Amino acid sequence: NAGVTQTPKFRVLKTGQSMTLLCAQDMNHEYMYWYRQDPGMGLRLIHYSVGEGTTAKGEVPDGYNVSRLKKQNFLLGLESAAPSQTSVYFCASKKEGQSSYEQYFGPGTRLTVT
């Protein structure tokens, strides 16, 4: 099992460019999450999904869109990148059910917007 993987690992964008971050998990988890982590701010939830075809807004959704067309993949899109979106992005997944509480994190994508 690869667990949770993220593509790409690093990226530099110019202001106004667009890009898509891919998160993939091979654990058949229902729930998937996108977070951003900035110095001194901790991890903040951007968007999440409770199953294939569903998405919902988290704490900081502005400037991002997501899609969950396949259960194993959760895509995060930036339509017009801004310097404020420079951050480390983590994806996580979780099994459905009350006894399955742990979120498993991917290795992160380091994005710089100039």
Partner 1 sequence: GQNIDQPTEMTATEGAIVQINCTYQTSGFNGLFWYQQHAGEAPTFLSYNVLDGLEEKGRFSSFLSRSKGYSYLLLKELQMKDSASYLCALFAGGGNKLTFGTGTQLKVEL
Interface with partner 1 by CB under 8 A: which residues? 31, 33, 40-45, 48, 50, 56, 58-59, 90, 94, 101-108
62/102 with CB nearer partner 1: 102
| Half-sphere exposure in the Cβ direction for 94 (13 Å, CA) | 15
Q: Which residue has the tokens 């998937």?
A: 32
**In the complex, what is the shortest distance from the CB of residue 49 to partner 1, in angstroms, rounded to a whole number?**
8
**Direct distance between the N- and C-terminal alpha carbons of the chain, in angstroms, rounded to an integer:** 36
14/42 with CB nearer partner 1: 42
**In the complex, what is the shortest distance from the CB of residue 24 to partner 1, in angstroms, rounded to a whole number?**
14
30/65 with CB nearer partner 1: 30
**In the complex, what is the shortest distance from the CB of residue 57 to partner 1, in angstroms, rounded to a whole number?**
10
Nearest to 96 by CA among 52, 33, 31: 31
Distances 37 to 1, 11, 78, 101, 110 between C-alpha atoms, Å: 26, 15, 16, 21, 10
8/107 with CB nearer partner 1: 107
